[in-house]
Chains A and B, each alone.
Chain A
Amino acid sequence: MIALRKRVAFVIRGGRVIDPSNGVDRTADLFVQRGKIVGIDTAPPNFSADAEIDARGRIVCPGLVELSAHLREPGQEHKATIESETRAAAAGGITTLCCPPDTDPVIDTPAVVELIRQRTDQAGYSRVVTLGALTQGLGGERLSEAAALQQAGCCGLSNARRPMANSQVQRRAFEYAASFGATVFIHAEDHWLVNDGCAHEGAITTRMGLPAIPAAAETAAVARDLALVEHTGVRTHFCRLSTARAVQMVARAQHDGLPVTADVAIPYLFLTDMDLVGFNAQCHVQPPLRTIRDRDALRAGLARGTRSALCADHQPHEADAKLAPFPSTEPGISGLDTLLSLALRLIDENLLTLTDVIERLTIGPARILGLEAQGVGSLSVGKRADIVVIDPERPWRVAAETLRSAGQNTPFLGWELKGQVTHTLVGGKLVFQRDA
């Protein structure tokens, strides 16, 4: 056994090294020292390994980057904590997590950014980066001190799922962010069209009598925001697209040269509104699961997209949050544990190649967060050693006892998946290793 969480010199031997950002896919040894990658194939002079990881038959790739992980701290520690979730992330091969600003208190001052950083350092597992609030208190009315938040380390700005008061505030917020080159992360939802809805408006809500959210709630918001992006030139990222039409609109905008990117959360590639039948509250998510047609368009967009990313959209909940009649359950899926294995399943389903999957889980999201210059999402000599070793064939069954997140709210319970992380290095420290 190798000592956990100690910065020692490693050699990761004989693995299939896949690093899409550098176009690498070959068997190689990887040398790690003082937190950095110091050699690929050959060790630097005077290198002496304290520990060796046997990666033969395994994949060695950059640590995964998760675009949206609600860590529930500060504010909702009864659901999860930074410690519990960064630990689960490490076991899932995720070495960088992006925390959205809707914590309590919200991330609208550098103090909250600092608090999260301290807690993350104390925990000592995966790294956490933050998005700052676009408006004060996420109230949607007054601009937050975006420059201070950026200086404190926020990767971008977002109003999470809270509505902006009106289009004028949205425009001003975009303009202000554009003046520092900050990226705005958008949850495209027309608040009024979402109303009290909890499921996709269509045949399923009609049968089940659930308050419905039309596809237009997303497309109307995307259309408005694209118009404002065009007007302001702000760099924007559309979070968690759920409709075929919105995917098409964003692709069109990219084609037209607008500075926009988008991601998809992995449950939306496997589930549809039909999974709600029987009032399965584990499938209560926002935006809602939509139709098979939408799911297939999201899949096609992911396969086609050169600037797209996959994420877990991690939202851990305590059990009670899902123990109520469907409309009053809390939306969201706990996703850190299943992100990698579900993504690998897309290879068996002939949607993506292994390199595509790793690309969309590593350098793809790292670029969206502006972290690629720090070496996040790639394996480059001289850059930080965030590395995972994966046994791609290892089977496992999603069950309460196999989940490490504090949130066990997942509709994938009982699924037979394959692919598990055997080792995770964050900044050159081994933060997770799986017992054989």
Chain B
Amino acid sequence: MKSGSLQVDAHGRLRHFLSIEGLGHQLVTDILDTAESFSGVTEQTVKKVPLLRGKTIVNLFFEASTRTRTTFELAAKRLSADVLNINIDASSAIKGETLLDTLRNLEAMHIDMFVVRHGESGAAHFIARHVAPHISVINAGDGRHAHPTQAMLDMFTIRRVKGPEFGRLRVAIVGDILHSRVARSQIHALNILNTGEVRVVAPRTLTPADATTLGVHVFHNLEEGIKDVDVIMMLRLQRERMQGALLPSEHEYFRLFGLTQKRLDLAQPDVTVMHPGPINRGVEMDSQVADGPHSVILEQVTHGIAVRMAIMSMAMRQKVSTAEAGA
């Protein structure tokens, strides 16, 4: 089954939000437009709308994350939903209880939506395929596969800063492409929005096989990769990459792939610098760049709430209307 048919119903409306891949241009634009309308809400003194009142959303995190979970929690609360956070340390999960057992138990508590983060690729698809039909699943990151809400907030941020014409933009994604679910989702989103050129920049050890099949140009040299680009999207480098013989040291990584002010001068004068956070200062980029005038890193965080509100309400709206149609 294609992810498209699993996450979108026969009328093209969102049922689950699992992956950017397979979404249409119209749906992606609708999400961005809806997020735009919610960004007003988050700036009011009373930061709440009653759209999901009475609904129960569970943040089901099998992988530790404070930042993503917090923004999902805030987004749900601003939609007036009840939110429950469940953190399951996969390594200490009770032996014998499968992921499916965990789901069935939660389903029995009449949950309306799962926001899932899991260390294995395909986990969100697996859950979406096996939950009761009235439950929506939002992927908050699965293995190396996808982190679609992050990519949507990145697109929202680019659209805010650069305007809606993605066709005239050159975008470089820099860092550990191989292990990055963020990069995969960003690439799909940028291509759906018809971005002029999408580049990935990484050493060979962190570039996935046949990367060009994703619709990107591949660079192994940062100076060449960011030359004349309009947007630079940096990725977080995990410390454990030094152990797997993928990189010699953080020092050498920074020397070759670290974003410095000097290198930034190779890009367009109005280049925008992004990072999904948390930043390793002095590894992926200089503090000077992270805190400098081109950086929109904190705006990304702010936009994350409106974008997640949009996605959650759209996935639930479909359920509400289905329930009404049935009644």
* Contact surface of A with B, Cβ cutoff 8 Å: 201-203, 205-212, 214, 277-280, 320, 323-328
Contacts and interface: CB of A to CB of B under 8 A. Distances in A.
A209 B121 contact: yes
Interface in B194-230: 208-211, 213-214
Contact of B209 (A202, A278, A326): A202
A325 B208 CA distance: 21
Contacts of A212: 208-209
B118 A325 contact: yes
B146 A277 contact: no
Given A203-B213, A206-B208, A278 B121 contact: no
Task: Report, nearest first, the 4 A-B pairs whose CB atoms are least far apart.
Answer: A209-B144, A209-B145, A279-B122, A325-B123
A324 B2 CA distance: 18
Most buried by A among B118, B126, B142, B214: B126
Nearest to B130: A323
Contact of A324 (B1, B99, B146): B99
Contacts of A214: 209
B208 A328 contact: no
A63 to B, nearest CB: 38
Contacts of B2: 277-278
28 contacts: A202-B210, A203-B213, A205-B209, A206-B208, A206-B210, A206-B213, A207-B184, A207-B213, A209-B143, A210-B121, A210-B122, A210-B145, A211-B144, A212-B208, A278-B1, A278-B6, A279-B121, A279-B125, A323-B98, A323-B100, A323-B126, A325-B99, A325-B118, A325-B126, A325-B142, A325-B143, A327-B122, A328-B120
A207 B21 contact: yes
Given A320-B98, A328-B120, A278 B143 contact: no
Given A209-B145, A325-B126, A327-B122, A278 B3 contact: yes
Nearest to B244: A195
B125 to A, nearest CB: 5
B319 interface: no
Contacts of A211: 121, 144
B181 interface: yes
A207 B181 CA distance: 10
Contact of B143 (A203, A206, A327): A327
Interface in B1-53: 1-3, 6, 21
A325 B120 contact: yes
A432 B323 CA distance: 52
Chain B at the A interface: SS class: mixed
Most buried by B among A205, A210, A211, A278: A278
A306 B63 CA distance: 52
Contacts of A209: 121, 142-146, 181, 184
A327 B120 contact: yes
B126 A324 contact: yes
Contact of A326 (B120, B146, B211): B120
Contacts of B100: 320, 323-324
A208 B121 CA distance: 7
A326 B121 contact: yes
Interface string B105-130: 00000000000001011110110001
Given A278-B2, A320-B98, A325-B99, A206 B121 contact: no
Interface of B: 1-3, 6, 21, 98-100, 118, 120-123, 125-126, 130, 142-146, 181, 184, 208-211, 213-214
Contacts of A207: 21, 184, 213-214
A277 B120 CA distance: 15
A243 to B, nearest CB: 14
B23 to A, nearest CB: 14
A27 B184 CA distance: 61
A209 B184 CA distance: 8
A212 B130 CA distance: 26
Nearest to A280: B1
A206 B98 contact: no
A206 B183 CA distance: 11
Contacts of B211: 206
A210 B144 contact: yes
A280 B209 CA distance: 21
A280 B143 CA distance: 16
A326 B98 contact: no
Nearest to B211: A206
Nearest to B5: A278
Contacts of A320: 98, 100
B210 A279 contact: no
A327 B209 contact: no
B267 to A, nearest CB: 26
Contacts of B208: 205-206, 212
A36 B214 CA distance: 61
Contacts of B144: 209-211
A277 B22 CA distance: 12
Given A206-B208, A209-B146, A209-B181, A326 B213 contact: no
Nearest to A212: B209
A207 B126 CA distance: 17
Nearest to B125: A279
Given A210-B121, A212-B209, 14 more contacts: A202-B209, A206-B213, A209-B121, A209-B145, A209-B146, A210-B145, A211-B144, A278-B6, A280-B1, A320-B100, A323-B126, A324-B126, A325-B99, A325-B123
Contacts of A201: 209
Contacts of B146: 209
Nearest to A276: B122
Contacts of B99: 324-325
Given A208-B145, A323-B98, A203 B210 contact: yes
A407 to B, nearest CB: 18
A323 B181 CA distance: 22
B21 A326 contact: no
Contacts of A324: 98-100, 126
Contacts of A280: 1
A202 B142 CA distance: 19
A114 to B, nearest CB: 33
Contact of B121 (A202, A203, A327): A327
B120 A278 contact: no
A141 B121 CA distance: 34
Contacts of A205: 208-209
A416 B37 CA distance: 51
A280 B6 CA distance: 13
Contacts of A328: 120
B139 to A, nearest CB: 12
B39 to A, nearest CB: 30
Contacts of A208: 121-122, 145
Contacts of A277: 2
B210 A326 contact: no
A276 B184 CA distance: 17
B266 to A, nearest CB: 27
Contacts of A327: 120-122, 143
